[in-house]
Structure 1
Amino acid sequence: MSSPLSGLCWLKHRKCRDRAPADLLAELGRGEIALTHEAFHALSPWRAAAHLEELLMTCGILPQVDKQICAFERWTIRHLAAVTDPEHARLIKRFGAWDVAPRLRARAERNPLTVSSRRGFSSQITQATQFLGWLAEHDLELATADRPTSTPGMSNTMSTPAPQSAGFCTGASPTSSPADSAFPPS
């Protein structure tokens, strides 16, 4: 850390926060927070947790992971928490774990990720969530969503706002994924 004063300011408790970064450090020291990336991705306040995670990676305490992968996984946890339909949340979790996250990791192995590329991957999950919502609003099932529908003025075309990622409709079918874990091993 180039400036010890900035580190002390970071540790200070700020108004409107449940916990200060110092609280996170104390919980970590007492063993209340697992020393894993997954544990840090679920913590709040997320900015303090992300900064602490980066410091621990810099010190070699946590394995190095692309910063944008960490941001994507944190975002996915928060996004899934906002999905109210349990079946939709399960499908989105599966899609993120078995389609989007592996492609994001593969890209990170070739080159460091940018904020923009991470947002593009997050957008695929957002679009899939919106697509499921649209299907529910129209009393349609995902299993039949890949079939052309007949809508006045739109014969033989898909009249649904299908997500950009072609993997969602095929990847979300009941037999397509081996498990519902949060993220496949990296």
Structure 2
Amino acid sequence: MNRTARTAGLGAVAAALTLLPQVAFAHTGVGDAHGFSHGFAHPLGGLDHLLAMVTVGVFAGQLGGRATWAVPVTFVALMAAGGALGVAGVALPFVELGIALSVVVLGLCVASGVKAPLAAAMAVVGFFAVFHGHAHGTEMPADASGLAYGLGFVSATTLLHLAGIGLGLAIARMGAARGERFVRGAGAAVAVAGAGLLAGLV
């Protein structure tokens, strides 16, 4: 992919992900600024969310091609759906376990350099995104606007995905062999952190 196409693709990702939060959140009309700020801060305030979302971006960039935008878009869309369930009070079992496992699995995907088919990669990130979204939704302040809160955590997640994609592209410029080793090492570190989260050590 040439530089112009890559830049256009990343721009399309940013635009698409920013528009996706127009989902049916229930509580709208009040507390817009309050809701947005809390929603934006939520993915940034937890190591589990932070690691998973940046790693989704790295994984997407590692896969390349259509996966560069399709994998993050899938994550954001399913995360928004999970958030809507959380806001609506719909119970989802094993949320914390699912979030911790997402860090392990995504880290291992990057560490192994797996070239998963696009549909499989989208299914994996989409599955875990529901848990992340549900956690966001259930922690929405009672006086916040649901739509604003959703826009907040979707915006933060979009930026984290783009940061991961950018990180992967920057590392790739180090040279094929060296960059690949660096990316895989980072993936392994993420997986270890995820194992720590599972064990309650982090």
- Relative to the length of structure 1, the TM-score reads 0.36
Q: Which is richer in helix?
A: 2
Larger-gyration structure (1/2): 1
- Relative to the length of structure 2, the TM-score reads 0.33
Q: Higher relative contact order by CA 8 Å / sep ≥ 6: 1 or 2?
A: 2
